[in-house]
Chain A
Amino acid sequence: MNGTKVVNSAEKLGGFVYTMDKRLVSFMNDLGGVTILSFKTFIGVFKYRFDFKELVRQFSIIGNRSLSIVSLIAIFTGMVIALQLSIGLGRYGLKLNVGQLVGIAIFRELGPVLTCLMVAARVGSGIAAELGSMVVTEQVLAIEAMGANPINRLVVPRVIATIIACPLLTVLADLIGCFGGMLVTVKEASVTTQFYIDQIRTTVLVEDFVSGVSKSVFFGFFIAIIACYEGLKTSGGTEGVGQATTKAVVYASIVIFISDFFLTKLLLYI
Chain B
Amino acid sequence: MGIVEFKNVSKFFGDKKVLEDADLSIEKGETITIMGGSGKGKTVFLKLLLGVLKADKGHIYFHGKDIGEMKEKNVVSMRRHIGMLFQGAALFDSLSVAENVAYPLREHFDYDDNAIAKIVTEKLGLVGMPGVEELMPAELSGGMKKRVGLARAIATDPDIILYDEPTTGLDPANTKRICNLILELQHKLKVTSIVVTHDMESAFRVTDRIAMLSNYKFEFVGTKEEAKNSSIPLVKHFINGDMDTNDG
Q: Which residues of A contact B (CB under 8 A)?
A: 133-134, 137-139, 141-142, 144-148
Q: Which residues of B contact A (CB under 8 A)?
A: 47, 50, 52, 76-77, 79-80, 82, 84, 86-88, 90-93, 103-104, 107-108, 152
Question: CB-nearest residue of chain B relative to A149?
Answer: B76
Residues of A within 8 A of B52 (CB): 141, 144-145
If A138-B86, A138-B87 touch, does A146 touch B92 (CB 8 Å cutoff)?
no
Residues of B within 8 A of A133 (CB): 93
Contact B79 A142 (CB under 8 A): no
Residues of A within 8 A of B82 (CB): 145
Q: In whole Å, how far is B165's beta carbon from the nearest beta carbon of chain A?
A: 11
Residues of B within 8 A of A138 (CB): 86-88, 90
CA distance in complex: A137, B138 (Å): 13
If A137-B90, A147-B76, A147-B77 touch, does A142 touch B107 (CB 8 Å cutoff)?
no
Residues of B within 8 A of A146 (CB): 79, 103-104, 107-108, 152
CA distance in complex: A144, B48 (Å): 12
Residues of A within 8 A of B88 (CB): 137-138
CA distance in complex: A138, B47 (Å): 12
CA distance in complex: A87, B84 (Å): 67
CA distance in complex: A133, B90 (Å): 11
CA distance in complex: A134, B84 (Å): 16
Q: In whole Å, how far is A52's beta carbon from the nearest beta carbon of chain B?
A: 14
Residues of B within 8 A of A139 (CB): 90-93
Residues of A within 8 A of B91 (CB): 139
Contact of B50 among A134, A137, A145, A148 (CB under 8 A): A145
Residues of B within 8 A of A141 (CB): 47, 52, 86, 90
CA distance in complex: A137, B92 (Å): 9
Q: In whole Å, how far is B74's beta carbon from the nearest beta carbon of chain A?
A: 11
CA distance in complex: A146, B85 (Å): 11
Residues of B within 8 A of A137 (CB): 88, 90
CA distance in complex: A144, B189 (Å): 24
Residues of B within 8 A of A144 (CB): 50, 52
